[in-house]
Chains A and B, each alone.
Chain A
């Protein structure tokens, strides 16, 4: 039988809160439900293990930072940089999230049902079989995928098309896939649009299905529709920008 642990986060600083979470994991909990969370940062910091954590409230910045394995489900909004340098596991946010979502993420998945702020996916990276995935249900603000070095960033635009500037500013690896057409004026220097191939579509379909499943959406209208794929303009798009070779 699954072992569930309940934690009341009301007024608890993030250090003792994370200590309680670690103790529950060490004691063999399968599921932790944390209620009355308000602004505590670093929840799940460096946490490992096969466990699901439900957060009720608004967790503070850097949720799931360095986390490697667990699943965190947020029943509310998140603040800045959920999934910061996350290694593996999954973060599911039922509301919106702040700036720098999935900052430097290196593996695992971050799913946001609503909108995110500026610099989503900043410096995401990948290495061999580690490929982080960030999916946004709503829309994203400027500098999406800034300095992106790897991974997949998918924007579903469920509430309308994306209207922002400097998408892929400094991108030199990875891919940004956005439902619908994206105006050239939205793209940053060094980012370029390419057609989505059948292979690409087959690759993102399971991600869309998983996202839809997590939020109770019908995935089919999101599969065979137009997507714009944005990638670095070349292998070294910024050669000569700061130095001469």
Chain B
């Protein structure tokens, strides 16, 4: 039952972990996957380029496709450095894309009307390059963060990137069991846009409504799977609309109307307002989601709790996963294990 395996870990003091622990934790949940997609995201992996947007790109063909991305980036800013993401052939992983990374500084003077010109330039470039479908897909675009994903089992994907060579203070990981669309590299989780990354177990049955809403606001879905829309919804609500994270989660997974009816009047009022304002952002269907940015990690499930979620704590570390065993694989001495209530966000923040 309840396929796809997810796990997230955050160190509130920003002490880094290499990727070997989360690799092992994710492989504990191989029963939840089907070998068609796995991935990892780590925050804090590019300290030498912390001021640059780290763009991870899948190229179909370096010679033909890279020139297009180079030209687009140079038009909007400066490429401080770019290189192939080091990879190591895995016998069970069909290598169909070449992962590349750019460290990019957008030129804010080119978007004078924007209050966040750099983010807006990068987000527009991601949308433009991905929709052009010219053999280049930007799947990771934040500062000091990197997504490492591919089509395959968690261990093979981890070894393809030698995930243990990366050090991050927050990690998310996902073991995929695609059900509604074929597995492919771009459809593996995590999904990322700028600072936020998302892993998800379940299916967003409101995808059509959510997608129409988000596409009317300038996002374009290109990955053939529902979770992409969650990454864009979080970017819209948290970055662009500046909602508090717990309010954003409440907009995505609001209480049932009958629960709202039983609330005290003042609480009723804002819950109604939020639910009505963000009706097309509300997500239906079974889901357990863990999302993170540079300072935060949040986990939440659908309001009927149709997918599992377990939370572990150990000193400065917060864990959120589909299974307790995965947490214990990473942290045998875990101090507390709890199950959050349906629809209630579990939020961890790094110390300022």
- Enumerate chain A interface residues (CB-CB to B < 8 A): 38-39, 41, 58, 60-61, 77, 79-81, 96, 98-100, 115, 117-119, 141-143, 165, 185
Give the residue among A39, A79, A142 with the most B Cβ atoms within 10 A: A39
Whether the pair A58, B308 counts as a contact (CB closer than 8 A) is no
User: B329 contacts the other chain (Cβ, under 8 Å)?
Assistant: yes
Query: What residues of B have a CB within 8 angstroms of the CB of A41 in the complex?
Result: 31
Q: Provided the pairs A39-B323, A77-B324 are in contact, do residues A118 and B305 lie with their beta carbons within 8 angstroms? A: yes
Judged by a CB distance under 8 angstroms, whether B325 is at the interface is yes
Q: Does B2 contact A (CB under 8 A)?
A: yes
Please name all residues of chain A whose beta carbon is closer than 8 Å to the beta carbon of B342 when the two chains form the complex.
118, 141-142
B328 located at the interface, meaning its Cβ lies under 8 Å from any Cβ of chain A in the complex:
yes
Residue of B nearest to A41 (CB): B31
Q: Give the number of A-B contacts (CB < 8 Å).
A: 60
Please, which residue of chain B has its CB at the minimum distance from the CB of A166? B304
Interface flags, B1-31, vs A, CB<8A=1, else 0:
1100000000000000000000000001101
B243 at the interface (CB under 8 A from A): no
Out of A81, A141, A143, name the residue touching B341 (CB < 8 Å): A141
Closest Cβ–Cβ distance, residue B310 to chain A (whole Å):
8
What residues of chain A lie closer than 8 Å to B2, measured between beta carbons?
A: 80, 99
Can you name the residue of chain B whose Cβ is closest to the Cβ of A118?
Answer: B305
Pairwise interchain contact A38-B339, C-beta atoms closer than 8 A: no
Using Cβ atoms and an 8 Å threshold, which residues of chain B touch A39? 28-29, 323-326, 328-329
**Interface size class, chain B:** 20 to 34
On whether A58 and B324 interact (CB within 8 A), knowing A117-B305, A117-B308, the answer reads: yes
Give Cα A102–Cα B28 distance, bound, in whole angstroms.
Answer: 23
Q: How far is the CA of A185 from the CA of B340 in the complex (A)?
A: 21
List 19 contacting pairs A-B, 8 Å CB cutoff, sorted by A. A38-B325, A39-B28, A39-B326, A58-B324, A58-B325, A60-B31, A61-B323, A79-B308, A79-B323, A80-B1, A96-B337, A96-B339, A98-B308, A98-B339, A117-B305, A118-B305, A141-B339, A141-B342, A165-B259
- 8 Å CB contacts to A: which residues of B305-344? 305, 308, 310, 323-326, 328-329, 337, 339, 341-342
Quick check: B328 and A58 within 8 Å, CB to CB? yes
CB-CB under 8 A for A60 and B304, given A39-B28, A80-B1, A118-B342: no
Contacts of A119 in B (CB 8 A): 305
Is B323 in contact with A141, judged by CB distance below 8 angstroms?
no
B63 within 8 A of A: no
Shortest CB–CB separation between residue A82 and chain B, in angstroms?
A: 13
The reply to whether the CB of B262 lies closer than 8 angstroms to some CB of chain A is yes
